[in-house]
Amino acid sequence: MQRMTRQRAAVSEALEDLPDFRSAQQLHELLRARGDAVGLATVYRTLQTLAEGGHVDVLRTEDGESLYRKCERSEHHHHLVCRACGTAVEIDGPTVETWASQVGAAHGFTDIQHTIELFGTCAACRAKQDA
């Protein structure tokens, strides 16, 4: 377990205040605006440590960027993300879990893990588009 430094505490506190996913760069800019002297490399390292510990969700966007948010659920879950506004909903996926296990077993694999993110347009953004 890593020691909780002032910088790590600042990153964790910032994540507590954010309801949506943010990139490491966005989080770094927020910290600087708050007056926290935390380097970008420290932000990346802290986010990696928090992700490995299951304390933050990591979302990979369609263009490959990693976004982070304080994890709201401890059990395995997926995200449904609006392409327009970035709103993310945590969802269960029992059908996906069963399918992943079956595909792995059919090919002789065990201890199957996966990451699935679903992207679409939320109702609010769709209504704006239709207006």
Q: What CA dihedral angle connects 80, 86, 90 and 94, to 10 degrees?
A: 10
Residue 71 among known ligand-binding residues: no
How far does the chain reach from its first CA to its final CA, in angstroms?
Answer: 52
What CATH number does domain 1-72 carry, 1.20.120.450, 1.10.10.10, 1.20.1600.10, 3.40.50.2000?
1.10.10.10
Total count of residues recorded for the chain: 131
How much is the pLDDT for 41?
A: 94
User: Which residues belong to CATH 1.10.10.10 in the chain?
Assistant: 1-72
Assess contact for 30 and 10: CB atoms under 8 A. no
pLDDT, tens digit, for every residue of 3-60? 678 888 899 999 998 888 899 999 999 999 999 989 999 999 999 999 888 888 888 8
114 CB burial (10 A radius; 0-12, 13-18, 19+) = middle
- Tell me the pTM: 0.69
Confidence at 2, pLDDT banded by 50, 70, 90: low
**Can you tell me the distance from the alpha carbon of 87 to that of 92, in angstroms, rounded to the nearest whole number?**
17
Assigned CATH class of 74-131: alpha beta
* Whether pLDDT at 1 is above 60: no
- Give 26-85 as a 3 state SS string: HHHHHHHHHCCCCCHHHHHHHHHHHHHCCCEEEEECCCCCEEEEECCCCCCCEEEEECCC
Q: Is 114 annotated as a binding residue?
A: yes
Q: Is 122 annotated as a binding residue?
A: yes
At 54-113, the pLDDT tens digits run: 888 888 887 888 999 887 766 777 888 888 888 888 888 788 888 999 999 999 999 988
Locate CATH 3.30.1490.190 in the chain: 74-131
Q: What is the pLDDT of residue 85?
A: 85
Report the pLDDT value the prediction gives residue 121, as an integer from 0 to 100: 95
